[in-house]
């Protein structure tokens, strides 16, 4: 089964959560829009037509089916890639946590774009500077405390969030930690000691053979000030 992933070619963004799952599983996939202008044209075509077109990338094409929304793509891929738990209740729980990660990602984006995603950062940086401390002090702390406590409560004695085997959720938490460290290095360094379980999990994921080789490859788009996790020192005080 060959998967076609459609996402913006120059950023990690929301597509990265899907890329990591496909890479960990060694799945047969194509990152379509990274294949040049024809790939981008294909992305735009699927975005603009069809009964089940998506509101925005990422979306995944498999056979005739197109699936959009990051967490929904992982809900679909998880069992097929061996990256989801078996029971329905555990799958809902994993999906719930993935949706909470989506919420955090939205808030991270809006730190640098509080007014409009259609404006540049420099057109809204006074607002961003007002939003940032609320994020780093209150919201980020609330999210990380939540995931740290969930991790501690669920993985007792296990290596991954849901038990002995890694799931897409572990990959997503790795990505969140990597992104936060890129965007808010000062804040994250100061708080590292508060999140031993998340820190250890991120380390463990980055050391998995397929992930390590992906991260070292040119398939991993670098973090930058075009993506969701952006480093602006003035927002990381």
| 1 touches its own copies by CB under 8 A | no
By CB under 8 A, name the one of 37, 55, 233, 234 that touches its own copies.
55
Find the shortest distance in angstroms from Cβ 219 to its own copies.
Answer: 26
Q: Does 141 bind its own copies (CB under 8 A)?
A: no
Which of 148/210 has CB closer to its own copies? 148
Contact between 134 and its own copies by CB under 8 A: the answer reads yes
The least distance separating its own copies from the CB of residue 172, rounded to whole angstroms, comes to: 14
45 touches its own copies (CB under 8 A): no
**Sole binder of its own copies in the list 3, 7, 29, 143 (CB under 8 A):** 143
Give start and end residues of each alpha helix (H) in 81-167: 88-112, 125-134, 140-154
Q: Look at phi and psi of residue 36 and say left if phi exceeds 0, alpha if psi is from -120 to 50, else beta.
A: left
Residue 62's DSSP bridge partners are 65
- Tell me whether residue 155 or residue 214 sits nearer to its own copies (CB atom): 155
Q: Are 183 and 237 in contact (CB under 8 A)?
A: no
Instruction: Give the per-residue contact string, 60-99, with its own copies (x = CB under 8 A; - = no).
Output: -----x-xxx-xx--xx------------x--xx-xx--x
Query: Up-side HSE of residue 229: CA atoms within 13 Å toward CB?
Result: 22
Sign for the CA dihedral angle at 97, 132, 116, 109 comes to negative
Q: Smallest gap, in angstroms, from Cβ of residue 211 to its own copies?
A: 26
Question: 179-216 burial by CB neighbour count: b if 16+ within 10 A, else e?
Answer: bbbbbbeebbeebeeebebbbebbeebeebeebeebbe
> How many positions of this chain bind its own copies (CB under 8 A)?
42
Residue 54, phi then psi, degrees to nearest 5 = -90, 155
44 near its own copies, rule: CB under 8 A: no
Chain center to CA of 81: 17
- Binding residues for its own copies (CB under 8 A): 51-55, 65, 67-69, 71-72, 75-76, 89, 92-93, 95-96, 99-100, 103, 106, 110, 114-116, 118-119, 124, 127, 130-131, 134-135, 138-139, 142-143, 146, 150, 153-154
């Amino acid at each position: 089964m060959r998967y076609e992933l459609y996402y913006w070619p120059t950023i990690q963004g929301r597509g990265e959560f899907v890329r990591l799952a496909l890479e960990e599983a060694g799945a047969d996939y194509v990152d379509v829009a990274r294949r040049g202008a024809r790939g981008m044209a294909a992305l735009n075509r699927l975005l603009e037509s069809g009964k089940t077109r998506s509101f925005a990338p990422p979306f995944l094409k498999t056979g005739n089916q197109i699936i959009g929304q990051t967490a929904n793509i992982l809900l679909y891929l998880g069992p097929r890639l061996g990256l989801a738990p078996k029971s329905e209740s555990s799958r809902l729980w994993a999906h719930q946590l993935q949706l909470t990660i989506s919420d955090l990602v939205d808030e991270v984006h809006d730190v640098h774009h509080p007014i409009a995603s259609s404006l540049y950062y420099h057109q809204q940086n006074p607002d961003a500077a007002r939003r940032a401390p609320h994020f780093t002090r209150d919201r980020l702390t609330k999210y990380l405390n939540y995931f740290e406590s969930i991790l501690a409560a669920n993985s007792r004695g296990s290596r991954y969030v849901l038990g002995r085997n890694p799931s897409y959720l572990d990959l997503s938490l790795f990505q969140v930690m990597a992104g936060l460290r890129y965007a808010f290095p000062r804040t994250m360094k100061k708080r590292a000691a508060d999140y031993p379980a998340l820190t250890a999990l991120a380390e463990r994921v980055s050391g998995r053979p397929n992930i390590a080789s992906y991260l070292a490859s040119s398939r991993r788009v670098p973090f930058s000030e075009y993506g969701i996790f952006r480093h602006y020192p003035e927002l990381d005080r």
